[in-house]
Chains A and B, each alone.
Chain A
Amino acid sequence: MTTITISYPDKARRTAITQEPVWVRRTLISLALIFLALFLFVPLISVFYEALKKGVDVYFAAITEPDARAAIRLTLIAAAIAVPLNLIFGVAAAWAIAKFEFRGKNILTTLIDLPFSVSPIIAGLIYVLVFGLQGWLGPWLAEHDIKIIFAVPGIVLATVFVTVPFIARELIPLMQAQGTEEEEAAVILGASGWQTFWRITLPNIKWGLLYGVILCNARAMGEFGAVSVVSGHIRGQTNTLPLHVEILYNEYNYAAAFAVASLLALLALITLAIKTFVESKVTQQKTKE
């Protein structure tokens, strides 16, 4: 859960009463910095260091060899399907939860959180149980020559599952805070449902939505557990980037493993940069009115 909780710190009023003594502040700040350095900066730097240790040529060879390229392609495909699907689902679910009253609303809200509360391995296993050779639909699928488990569809399914909450969770509080008055005003002025959505609702949530998409995308590309269960680890076919890193590492091919890992790390850094930018926009949108 904590991964997507965003805090919008109010500009805390610093009064003498809330002001801690100097030594307390310094200790707290240094503790935080030391922690960050040990657990974040050092590993991050070491990823790039190990990746480039044997030279730039080895690095580029590692990320351009066919299996790596296949893994990159598969990761991109999975994200390209999962993110739009969750975009539509997230907006629809958030819209329904924030703007309407209906039976089972609480259940829907809880279900959206399910992928957060359940271990990714379980998520993968669910699909194996349903679509696997020994699963419920397995014989039927085998008969019709449809492969889901140990194939691309399974990877996409698992990715969609683990990324379900990101966009909906981001939008629900935003839409709830904005209420329905603007939509009501638009409808009374003669706007149709689509016009209301495109001209009023969407512009009001666009930064929150983008923020959700970025987080969703980062998770879709980085997911390991669920995808690992359904993938089957077939090199060049069902390996995503994280799985490819694992295989290389297990083969003691450290330089290549770190090179590929550096791609994911780079993705994380880019995500972080965009996220910071979007976050400031979200805060702006919230403070308006």
Chain B
Amino acid sequence: MSIEIRHLSKQFGTFAALRDVNLEIQSGELLALLGPSGSGKTTLLRVIAGLETADSGQVLFNNEDTTRQSIRDRQVGFVFQHYALFRNMTIFENVAFGLRVRPKDCRLKDAEIRERVTNLLQLVQLDWLADRYPHQLSGGQRQRIALARALAVEPKVLLLDEPFGALDAKVRKELRIWLRRLHDDMHITSVFVTHDQEEALEVSDRVVVMNEGRIEQIGTPDAVYEQPANPFVYEFLGHVNLFHGRIHRGRAIISDIEIEAPEHAEAENLAAIAYVRPHDIEIDRVTNGESALAAHIVHIVSIGPIVRLELAHDDSSNKNLVQVEISKDRFRELQLTKGDRVYIKPRRLELFPSHASANSIH
């Protein structure tokens, strides 16, 4: 089922949770709503579910306006951050709940309910917990049961509100992969909310980056990561280094170095901020004639196959530390140690005229 959101706005007192949000979600898609807390992503999800009503705007399911539809008729599955399992029921009864509360004339027979619930419990690999109560399960198990419960009623849309937010890192990673696989098997239109950019990039087909009640960018994980639409998205998605400089007739000038910036050909001596990802910085012990920034190493952290270096500019007027990520092989080749002097040069950078970053997260 496709979902279309038109001009949605929602106000909580004086706080604007959603400001004129427009979004189209394709049928069978797995979409991530990504943003910092207070960005409106959960509100948007709850409006889609029908748990909140928007002040203005429409939500369309398959081109049909749902504004006047009750929650019960929307046929959505919802997974809560804190699971919201029914504490007074066994796991089996939790999953069976949606089937048991149907009106008598369209309710399945007991044997059919039993079969479907058993299948679902097998799907989430927890059929051996059927007779337990929610409080006897671990967080990861509870969330899988919550998912099975949501799927039991065969929803047309699956909505997940920070589904892995309350879990520890390892379980989170496992469940993430598992959710992706499940979605690939079932192809149910799914929307999930997260503030974890890694999660959004890893799991979803498309990412919607939200901030202060607005959508900042919509795109595939690659697109939002590689071509951020604005400084906010750049800073929110992954580590980033900030350099202050100028753009002048298609060239970016950052202290001693000059880099081609053809997309800013008409700029005349404009102040700009350059964003550079830690892995997009070249590092060497010598300058091979080209212009480069001089710096020295203040900190070395080795994380698996990657080594993260923190560098301080030699130019003491610039107090910002530069983060650089290089492969372990390159690190060994250069034989770097703390305090060493090095030369760095951005390989790729994204330039934004300074005024554009006025409302960035800094």
Q: Which residues of A contact B (CB under 8 A)?
A: 181-182, 184-192, 195, 199-200, 203-204, 288-289
Contacts and interface: CB of A to CB of B under 8 A. Distances in A.
Closest 5 CB pairs of A and B: A189-B98, A181-B84, A203-B88, A191-B101, A288-B135
Given A182-B86, A186-B97, A288-B87, A192 B78 contact: no
Given A189-B101, A190-B102, 17 more contacts: A181-B80, A181-B82, A181-B84, A184-B80, A185-B78, A185-B85, A185-B149, A188-B72, A188-B76, A188-B77, A189-B98, A189-B150, A190-B101, A288-B134, A288-B135, A289-B87, A289-B134
Given A190-B98, A191-B101, A200-B86, A185 B80 contact: yes
A72 B50 CA distance: 54
Nearest to B51: A184
B87 A188 contact: no
Given A181-B82, A204-B87, A188 B71 contact: yes
B167 to A, nearest CB: 15
B135 A289 contact: yes
A192 B72 contact: yes
A191 to B, nearest CB: 4
Interface in B236-259: none
B88 A186 contact: no
A288 to B, nearest CB: 4
B209 interface: no
B153 interface: yes
Contacts of B51: 184, 188
Contact of A189 (B82, B88, B97, B135): B97
A192 B101 contact: yes
Contacts of A189: 97-98, 101, 149-150, 152-153
B158 to A, nearest CB: 11
Contacts of B153: 189-190
B133 interface: yes
27 contacts: A181-B80, A181-B82, A182-B84, A182-B86, A182-B87, A184-B84, A185-B84, A186-B86, A186-B97, A188-B72, A189-B101, A189-B149, A189-B152, A190-B72, A190-B98, A191-B97, A191-B101, A195-B101, A199-B86, A199-B101, A200-B86, A203-B88, A204-B87, A288-B87, A289-B87, A289-B134, A289-B135
A30 to B, nearest CB: 40
Contacts of A181: 80, 82, 84
B319 to A, nearest CB: 44
Interface in B129-149: 133-135, 149
A186 B102 CA distance: 11
Please tell me the size bucket of the interface on B: 20 to 34
Interface of B: 49-51, 71-72, 76-78, 80, 82, 84-88, 97-98, 101-102, 133-135, 149-150, 152-153
A195 B104 CA distance: 13
Contacts of A188: 49-51, 71-72, 76-78, 150
Contacts of B76: 188
A204 B89 CA distance: 10
A194 to B, nearest CB: 10
Contacts of A182: 84-87
A241 to B, nearest CB: 37
Nearest to B134: A289
Nearest to A203: B88
A98 to B, nearest CB: 16
B80 to A, nearest CB: 5
B71 A187 contact: yes
A199 B84 CA distance: 14
Contacts of B72: 187-188, 190-192
Contact of B133 (A187, A195, A288): A288
Contacts of A192: 72, 101
| A189, A195, A289 interface centre (most CB from chain B within 10 Å) | A189
Contacts of A187: 71-72
Taking each of A185, A188, A204, which has the highest tally of chain B beta carbons within 10 Å of its own beta carbon?
A188
B59 to A, nearest CB: 15
Nearest to B71: A187
